[in-house]
Amino acid sequence: MKTTIAVANGDGIGPEIMQAVLKIFKANNVPLEYEFVEMGKSYFDAGHSTGMTDQAKETIEKLGILFKGPMETPKGKGVKSINVTARKVWNTYANQRDFRTLNGVETVFSKAGIPINLTIIRENIEDTYGGIEHLLTYDVAVGRRIITRPGSEQVIRYAFEMVRRKGYKKLVCGHKANIMKLTDGLFLEVFKEVAKEYPDIEASDIIVDDLCMKLVSRPQMFEAIVLTNLQGDIVSDLCAGLVGGLGFAPSANIGDNISIFEAVHGTAPDIAGRGIANPTALLLSGISMLRFLGYSSNAAAIENSLLYTLEQGVHTGDFGDKSTPSLGTTDFADAVIANLGKVPADGGVFAEADFQVKQNASPIKNKLTLSTGAKVEEEMIGVDVFVESKVQPNELAEVAKKSLRFNENFNLVMISNRGTQVWPTGSIYTELVNEYRIRFEKKPGTTIKQKEILHIAADLSEDVKVCSVEFLMNFGGKIGYTLAQGQ
């Protein structure tokens, strides 16, 4: 049975590499039909603020799969990246990138005979990619990092399922929970909870800086790694470097209803239109799409032919042996087609068992709400009021205490600057910027209301500019905020 997918050619080298990949698919009789959709730079230029036509959006939402070339987002026009927007609006919560040694693509590791075969799963929606940032004072910018329990669970569960499907044995969670105790701490906590449901998989965790060091010194240690969005972004480009660069890096953005398959590289405007672009990354993305759709024998045949072709030293201008002539995009695709049926020296890859795709199983009518549904007791403890001030901490403490003359249920417990405690104790050497955090906590044995807390901020604003307010809460008896350094 054929599957219809949406295809967007993209900008720059996009149409050239897409044509090459679809030619290879055709030669292998891949059971796909295509609906081409209008997305990319020219649609921004034509006034579509999201970079796509309504028809394109409708088609993608109907078909559930988008295979796309790289796209350019116009700079300086205030429009958001079409690539990031597509991933977010369609909730493709897991970004999967498979990295493997490709014979014919020389790297430090291939020369040393160290094989690399690892997969990075990166959370694709949350973290700092919410782009929620504010200038609190002219000198101080802050950004919100959002990590949620259900959002983490979704991607971590996907990672465990992927590991099982691939027949891997291990999954590692990369994080920085030693510093970001509540955000990365939550991601790690969920990882450990979900791991209990997969006793057949060896689950472990590693601090992300240690992970980077180990990836560049002993990449063969790893099979699969799951990370939050920003750390995953950086670590996956690091892994692309291990196997030969972005020209060999495929990417799958997986969601429950819509999934997007694309190359990691951009539109390469410097070589666009010259017919010399390397289609390998888009082809590898197409191969993972075929596996995702359950066409694993087509995927294996095309992958084996690609591996064999690379192994023969066939290359485009951006890689390979410079002493042998390079092929253009179409000739490279033709070489892969001519090698269909051949397998690389290591025996190649095999077709995996097909698996049922969930895509578009039941079209949705309302937006989905993610919730763990957990019921835990909440207790309000106090408030952090962020203020702009240039005075010394002792003087600010007097101002803060003054605001408590109407709010007798609270104590002033701490003042910090850039996260480091500067009152009641601190070091004279701690440098100060013009934004402080003033922490008020309820007196023991009292119960407080949110309204009282807001009154503190209002009273404080009589004497000092309030920049923002953050409530202090306990959940299920556990403290739901961090202490200042030195507190």
Name the residues that contact ligand NAI, by CB under 6 A. Answer: 13, 17, 70-73, 83, 246-247, 262, 265-271, 277-278, 281, 318
Q: Least separation, in Å, of the C-beta of 201 and ligand NAI?
A: 30
- Cβ proximity to ligand NAI: between 245 and 382 the closer is 245
Q: Least separation, in Å, of the C-beta of 246 and ligand NAI?
A: 6
Per DSSP, 81 falls in state P
- Cβ proximity to ligand NAI: between 271 and 396 the closer is 271
- Cβ proximity to ligand NAI: between 137 and 326 the closer is 326
Per DSSP, 4 falls in state E
What tokens appear for 240 in the block? 């692309």
Say how far apart CA 353 and CA 60 lie, in whole Å.
27
Are residues 126 and 190 in contact, defined by beta-carbon separation less than 8 angstroms? no
- Cβ proximity to ligand NAI: between 87 and 439 the closer is 87
Are residues 257 and 364 in contact, defined by beta-carbon separation less than 8 angstroms? yes
Say how far apart CA 444 and CA 437 lie, in whole Å.
22
Question: What length is written for the chain?
Answer: 487
What tokens appear for 462 in the block? 């009589």
Mapping DSSP onto H, E and C, the string for 129-156 reads HHCCEEEEECCEEEECCECCHHHHHHHH
- Which helix H or strand E contains 435, and what residues bound it? strand 435-442
Say how far apart CA 56 and CA 42 lie, in whole Å.
14
Alpha-carbon 286 to chain mean position? 20
- Cβ proximity to ligand NAI: between 327 and 349 the closer is 327
Q: Least separation, in Å, of the C-beta of 33 and ligand NAI?
A: 24
Q: Least separation, in Å, of the C-beta of 338 and ligand NAI?
A: 21
Give the residue among 119, 135, 218 at the shortest CA–CA distance from 171: 119
Residue 342's Cβ-count burial label (10 Å; 0-12, 13-18, 19+) is middle
Residue at shortest CB range from ligand NAI? 266
Q: Least separation, in Å, of the C-beta of 213 and ligand NAI?
A: 26
Q: Least separation, in Å, of the C-beta of 269 and ligand NAI?
A: 6
- Cβ proximity to ligand NAI: between 278 and 305 the closer is 278
Q: Which amino acid is located at 99 in the chain?
A: F
- Cβ proximity to ligand NAI: between 201 and 277 the closer is 277
- Cβ proximity to ligand NAI: between 255 and 294 the closer is 255
Q: Least separation, in Å, of the C-beta of 273 and ligand NAI?
A: 12
Q: Which amino acid is located at 271 in the chain?
A: I
Are residues 470 and 383 in contact, defined by beta-carbon separation less than 8 angstroms? yes
Angstrom distances, CA of residue 31 to CA of 6, 63, 281, 287, 289: 14, 15, 21, 13, 12
Return the SS3 of 10. coil
Q: Least separation, in Å, of the C-beta of 268 and ligand NAI?
A: 4
Say how far apart CA 74 and CA 239 lie, in whole Å.
28
Q: Least separation, in Å, of the C-beta of 347 and ligand NAI?
A: 28
- Cβ proximity to ligand NAI: between 72 and 223 the closer is 72
Q: Least separation, in Å, of the C-beta of 247 and ligand NAI?
A: 5
Say how far apart CA 441 and CA 472 lie, in whole Å.
8
- Cβ proximity to ligand NAI: between 73 and 152 the closer is 73
Are residues 213 and 61 in contact, defined by beta-carbon separation less than 8 angstroms? no
